Amino acid sequence: MGRRQDLIDTALRLFYEHGIHAIGINQVLQEAGVAKQTLYNHFESKDSLVEAAVEHRDKLFFQWLESRMNSQPAGREALMEMFDAVHDWFNDRVPSLQRFYGCFFINTCGEYSDPDHPVHRRCAAHKTKVFELLKRHALEICTSETEADELANALFLLKEGAIVKAHVEGDLDAALKAKAIASRMISPH
C-alpha cells in the first residue's frame, strides 16, 4: 500500500498548491519517485488519481475539523472552536493540511465546473458533510430543526467567506473576524 499512497500524497500536494490542470503526471511521478507504469497499475487515468486525491483531502480535512470541534463541549463551544481551527489553518499551524492555499474543494470546482463530473460531486459531498457536522452541533443549542438549519447555514457561509477572503486577499485574520460575527449571532442577548 506504499506506492499508491505516495502517489496520492504527492498529487494532492501539487494539485493543491498549483491547481490540477497545471500539474502533469510526469511531475507527480518524479516527485513521488514512482515509475509511470506503477501509476497506471493503480489508477486508470489522471482523472482517477484526481478523484483519489480529492477523497484523501476530504478524509484528512474532515477528520481534523471534527476532532478539533470534539475537543470542546458539543454545541456553542464546538462551533466557536471551528473558527479557531480554521484560523490555525490559515496561519499555517496545521502541518497535516499543508500550507494554506485556500480551499482545495473550492479551487477544484473552479477547474471542474460540470456539477455531474465525479470530481465536482466529491467536492460537493465534502461541503455537505461539513455542513452536517455544523448542524449536529447547532441542534444542541437550537429549539427547532429549522432554527438549527439556519444557524448552521449562517456559520457555514461565514466560514466559506473567511476562507475566500484569507486566500484571495491574504487576510490572515479573516477567521477571527468571522468568529466575532458568529459569536454575536449565537448569543446576542
Partner DNA sequence: TTAATGGTAGACAGATCTGTCTATTTTGGT
Partner DNA sequence: ACCAAAATAGACAGATCTGTCTACCATTAA
Nearer to a copy of itself, 78 or 123 (CB): 123
* 132 and 138 Cβ atoms separated by less than 8 Å: no
Q: Which set of grid coordinates corresponds to residue 27? A: 511531475
**Which of 13, 46, 117, 136 forms a contact with DNA (CB under 7 A)?**
46
Residues 6+ apart with CB under 8 A from 91: 100, 172
Site string for a copy of itself, 136-165 (x = CB under 8 A): --------------x--xx-xxxxxxxxxx
Nearer to a copy of itself, 6 or 111 (CB): 111
Q: Which of DNA, a copy of itself, none is residue 156 near (CB under 5 to 8 Å by kind)?
A: a copy of itself
Interior angle at CA 89, CA 17 and CA 85, nearest 5: 150
Cell 497506471 found at: 40
Coil/strand/helix, residue 115:
coil
Instruction: Give the binding site for a copy of itself (CB under 8 A).
Output: 17-19, 21-22, 101-103, 105-111, 113, 115, 120, 123-124, 127-128, 150, 153-154, 156-165, 167-170, 174, 177-178, 180-181, 185, 188
